[in-house]
A = this chain, B = another copy of it.
Amino acid sequence: MRLRPLALCVLLSSFSTPLLAQSPALPSPDRVRLDRLQLMQGFPPPAERQVTAANFLSQYPNVRWAFHHMRELLPSRNIARGAGPVSELPVGEDWRERIEALRFTGPDGNELSFIEYLTDSYADSTLVMKDGKVIYETYHQGQTAHLPHQLWSVTKSFTGLIASMLIEEGLIKADAQVTDYLPELEGSGWQGATVQQVLNMTADIDYSEIYGDERSDVLQYAVAAGMVPAPADYQGARELYSYLPTIGAAGEHGQGFIYRTVHTEVLGWLVRRASGQRLSDLISERIWQPLGAEQDAYMLLDRHGTGWAGAGMNATLRDLARFGEMMRNEGRFNGRQIVSSSVVRSILEGADREAFKASGRDFQPGYSYRNQWWISHNADGGYEALGVHGQMIHVNPTVGLVVVRLSSHPIASSGYTFPTTRPAMMALADLLR
């Protein structure tokens, strides 16, 4: 495989601490401002500004343009907002100056301001809501408001929420075996795993996410999804449904939490099989339309039309704010109960914090992972949907805070941004408390 290290990073959300030490030399955020890069400008653009499906992940800073234009690179399916009116996103007091000037202590002990934090983490756009009102909304450095942004693993939290709804409705049983719904996975690594273990990523499978290993499973996943082109000598599966059953067994299910995107692809398959509907249609009908979203969202697809349930959703900042606000209000938004409060409350209970420690994600101390959401178990009851390269929906129910940040960080792993994000969110909560 001829993928460069940065390209591989995108696939790596779990990692070991030693990897963090190899902090690569990053370009100055000012040098990769989108409004200076002129990516894809001109007819045709000069070769060095040409972004393609083949180079968007391997050549930074191409993602600064690509993350707002994924459907122009890859096949996609619409997540329709429907024909209803756009819901109001009320505007509150303008906290811009106070938020941007807010100072806090980063993980290395240095003090920095909130705007330095955003800039240094290559934020594309940021929105803060307090008690249901927008108090900060910024599109940084020429970034775009109206185009859906690639969400990476924030997608997982949508898939997990839909699965949770289907469980409550009795369409899926959390303690059933995955193979009860997907006999195609008999004999695979998911044999013997329950739906809940897949939801919480405690099912164990023989799936590695290792840098630079030409046979690494994570590269096969990326090729199967159509995320990266298949190398000339590639012999593996080229779409998700034939790839997933090839993943073998590992240890005992239900022990440690290990973050693996393919679990969510299995979950997406299970949701489709159980409901008879595509994930994109489920999200449209059950979430996007009732939310009164401003824009259609969309899902990226493999070459057989299967959505990337673990990584492929694209949506705008403001629509994600509506979604976050709906979660904060235990499923209520736009004058209606969109998700039952018991589904939201069940997710927020979290999972086994001891099992979580196995993941080595020391930058999320005390956390657990339940139904594809990151639960902090902190005093404020905070939780997140997170995606690589800096995508985040953060909710702090105690303070009434919803933060959405979309980003195009050169390094995929949340491990490079979250150690600063965590104290930043705490400082913001204290400012607004």
A201 CB to closest chain B CB, in angstroms?
Answer: 22
Residue of A86, A241, A304 ringed by the most chain B CB atoms within 10 A: A304
Taken together as a complex, chains A and B put the C-alpha atoms of A241 and B43 apart, in Å, by: 8
Does A44 sit at the interface, judged by CB under 8 A? yes
A427 CB to closest chain B CB, in angstroms?
Answer: 35
Q: Are A43 and B296 in contact (CB under 8 A)?
A: no
List 22 A–B pairs whose Cβ atoms lie within 8 Å, in order of A's numbering: A40-B305, A43-B241, A43-B272, A43-B273, A43-B306, A44-B306, A52-B304, A52-B305, A53-B303, A69-B77, A71-B71, A71-B76, A71-B77, A71-B78, A72-B75, A72-B77, A72-B301, A72-B305, A73-B75, A74-B75, A76-B76, A80-B146
Q: A44-B241, A72-B305 are in contact. Are A296 and B296 (CB under 8 A)?
A: yes
Does A227 sit at the interface, judged by CB under 8 A? no
Does A204 sit at the interface, judged by CB under 8 A? no
Does A83 sit at the interface, judged by CB under 8 A? yes
Taken together as a complex, chains A and B put the C-alpha atoms of A303 and B40 apart, in Å, by: 12
Bitwise interface map of A from 266 to 303 toward B, beta carbon under 8 Å scored 1, else 0? 00010011000000000000000000001010000101
Prevailing SS type, chain A contact patch: loop
Does A11 sit at the interface, judged by CB under 8 A? no
Question: Size range of the interface on A?
Answer: 20 to 34
Residue of A52, A269, A273 ringed by the most chain B CB atoms within 10 A: A52
Residue of A52, A71, A75, A76 ringed by the most chain B CB atoms within 10 A: A75
**Residues 305-346 of A contacting B (Cβ, < 8 Å):** 305-306
Taken together as a complex, chains A and B put the C-alpha atoms of A76 and B73 apart, in Å, by: 8
Does A113 sit at the interface, judged by CB under 8 A? no
Does A50 sit at the interface, judged by CB under 8 A? yes
Give the number of copies in the complex. Answer: 2
Residue of A44, A50, A74 ringed by the most chain B CB atoms within 10 A: A44
Does A262 sit at the interface, judged by CB under 8 A? no
Bitwise interface map of A from 401 to 418 toward B, beta carbon under 8 Å scored 1, else 0? 000000000000000000
Q: Are A53 and B75 in contact (CB under 8 A)?
A: yes
What residues of B have a CB within 8 angstroms of the CB of A78 in the complex?
A: 71, 147
What residues of B have a CB within 8 angstroms of the CB of A74 in the complex?
A: 75
**Residues 73-110 of A contacting B (Cβ, < 8 Å):** 73-78, 80, 83, 86
Does A51 sit at the interface, judged by CB under 8 A? yes
Question: Which residue of chain B has its CB nearest to the CB of A50?
Answer: B304
Taken together as a complex, chains A and B put the C-alpha atoms of A40 and B75 apart, in Å, by: 15
Q: Are A86 and B86 in contact (CB under 8 A)?
A: no
**Residues 225-247 of A contacting B (Cβ, < 8 Å):** 241
Taken together as a complex, chains A and B put the C-alpha atoms of A286 and B237 apart, in Å, by: 44
Taken together as a complex, chains A and B put the C-alpha atoms of A241 and B45 apart, in Å, by: 10
Q: Are A71 and B80 in contact (CB under 8 A)?
A: no
What residues of B have a CB within 8 angstroms of the CB of A40 in the complex?
A: 305
Taken together as a complex, chains A and B put the C-alpha atoms of A296 and B81 apart, in Å, by: 11
A43-B272, A69-B305, A83-B86 are known; give 17 further A-B pairs, CB within 8 A: A43-B241, A44-B241, A44-B306, A50-B304, A51-B305, A52-B303, A52-B305, A53-B75, A53-B303, A71-B75, A71-B76, A71-B78, A72-B76, A72-B77, A72-B305, A76-B76, A296-B296
